[in-house]
Structure 1
Amino acid sequence: MSSRGRSGGGKSSGRTTGRQTTVRVRTAKSRSNSSARWLQRQLNDPYVAEAQKRGYRSRAAFKLLQLDEKFHFFKKGMRVVDLGAAPGGWIQVALERIGKEGRVVGIDLLPVDPVPGSQIIVGDFLDADAPQRLVDLLGGPANAVLSDMAASSTGHANTDHLRIMTLAEVALDFAEDVLAPDGFFLCKVLQGGSEKELLDRLRKSFAKVRHVKPPASRSDSAELYVLATGFRGKPTTSGSEG
């Protein structure tokens, strides 16, 4: 359940700097056309180069930076949970934004190299005891739940869309269990036709729900982020069975 990516002190900008020379990759006998295209895109991606320059663990760090620069959802002293935290780039950004008085806890199925100032545990956030474990580590309810998770691609667009939407829905289940009042939820989704149920749920639990696409999100990618702010509490079911 992982997909992604501290620079020095201070508030980092999500803008890239400098110019790049285009690198062309030839297809070797041991390299498929698709892997050659992926490698060439990585080598020529300004966000990949800028992430290496600033010490971020992946280019995905710039997505979170750019979203916060636009919507200003991070505040000093916040308690933040990062679901599917590997490789740790979003944790790095969150730490920069909330300051030393805040707390960040990440969870991932895979081991993640430590990020100073945070706590990262290996485990499944779907485990029954995971919400309480993370709240205990935070020292109280979370002010933010982040998810940049993406299921492994099958190459079938409808299947991939359903899989990532399922991840988003279970991430929301988790968020509703751990968020403090007025907290926010930021989660990756894909453009498609089966988002209505998720959006309907979000609008019941949060004051405002937006679809956002940061500049660092590749233009040819179907990924979007849903940003839900002003948590009002988990909806209660009404009515009786009979």
Structure 2
Amino acid sequence: MPVSNKKLRSNRAWIERHINDPYVKRSKAEGYRARSVYKLLELNEKEHLLKPGLTVVDLGSAPGSWTQVVREKLIDKNGQVRGRIIAMDILPMDPIEDVYFLQGDFREQSVADQLAAILNGDKVDVVLSDMAPNLSGIAAADAARSLLLNELALEFCVDHLAPHGVFVTKAFQGSGYSQYVEALKKVFRKVAAKKPAASRDTSAEVYLVSRELKNPGLSQ
């Protein structure tokens, strides 16, 4: 099927924008795997999400830039990683030292069993989700796929998050967004929307930071 001139122009524009993106250049210079790293760095600086001793799960972790940040922030004053870092994705990810990587859908029993073995009965302090669907260009379909990922991440939190834990997830403003925020507010005491500087102005994405489960007993 021939590719339209409009699509070719769009692809060229994306490539040019990506090449010239200061965050892309900076991420390569600083050894990070993706520009998205600066979104988490800013969120962490303002929201104080990460510190040594925590158990952190990074959902949809590939290629691993957010996991790189988590590892950096869990290093104590002696230069040792203190805590547990669990990265999960259906896609493969190159190894990162001190990180457990579970490949597969976190709803699958085999993956759930691996996670349970690592946690050994403990709860998770921070759940991060930068998950996004493969975009089709059809707004309604993409919004529905994105919302499903958000809902699955929330279900994961209800099952695994500690009572005073924090959940950070990417969401797209549009169809279903306000309903998802309301769903978060039913589960968490505090919900705030943040737009990091590294998030492109043209993007509808925001990051929702949710804290403190209202009914932690339900997740036991």
Confirm or deny a common fold (TM above 0.5).
yes
- Are 2:48 and 1:86 equivalent residues in the alignment? no
| 1:230 pairs with one of 212, 215, 219 | 212
Alpha-carbon separation, structure 2, partners of 1:60 and 1:138: 27
Which residue pairs with 1:61 in the alignment? 37
What is the CA-CA distance between 1:142 and the residue it aligns to? 0.7
Contact 2:57 2:124 in 1 (8 A): yes
**SS state at 2:10 partner:** helix
Alpha-carbon separation, structure 2, partners of 1:138 and 1:219: 38
| 1:120 pairs with one of 86, 101, 105 | 101
What is the CA-CA distance between 1:229 and the residue it aligns to? 1.1
- Are 2:122 and 1:146 equivalent residues in the alignment? no
Q: C-alpha offsets along residues 16-61 of structure 1, whole Å, 9 cap, x if unaligned?
A: xxxxxxxxxxxxx9x9212211111111101001101111000001
Alpha-carbon separation, structure 2, partners of 1:202 and 1:233: 12
Contact 1:95 1:103 in 2 (8 A): no
- Are 2:16 and 1:40 equivalent residues in the alignment? yes
Q: Which has the higher helix share?
A: 2
Which residue pairs with 1:166 in the alignment? 148
| 2:198 pairs with one of 216, 220, 225 | 216
What is the CA-CA distance between 1:94 and the residue it aligns to? 0.7
| 2:158 pairs with one of 164, 176, 182 | 176
Which residue pairs with 1:107 in the alignment? 88
Q: Number of aligned pairs?
A: 207
Which residue pairs with 2:78 in the alignment? none
What is the CA-CA distance between 1:160 and the residue it aligns to? 1.1
**SS state at 1:187 partner:** strand
Contact 2:102 2:114 in 1 (8 A): no
Which residue pairs with 2:53 in the alignment? 77
TM-score, normalised relative to structure 2: 0.88
What is the CA-CA distance between 1:200 and the residue it aligns to? 2.4
Which residue pairs with 1:136 in the alignment? 117
Which residue pairs with 1:49 in the alignment? 25
Counterparts in 2 of 1:188-203, with a 5 A limit? 188-203=170-185
**SS state at 1:57 partner:** coil
Identify unmatched segments of 5+ residues in structure 1. Answer: 1-28, 237-242
What is the CA-CA distance between 1:95 and the residue it aligns to? 0.9
* Matching residue's letter, 1:59: R
What is the CA-CA distance between 1:172 and the residue it aligns to? 0.4
Alpha-carbon separation, structure 2, partners of 1:50 and 1:91: 17
1:151/1:123 CA distance change after superposition, 3 Å: same
Contact 2:162 2:216 in 1 (8 A): no
**SS state at 1:218 partner:** coil
TM-score, normalised relative to structure 1: 0.80
**SS state at 1:32 partner:** helix
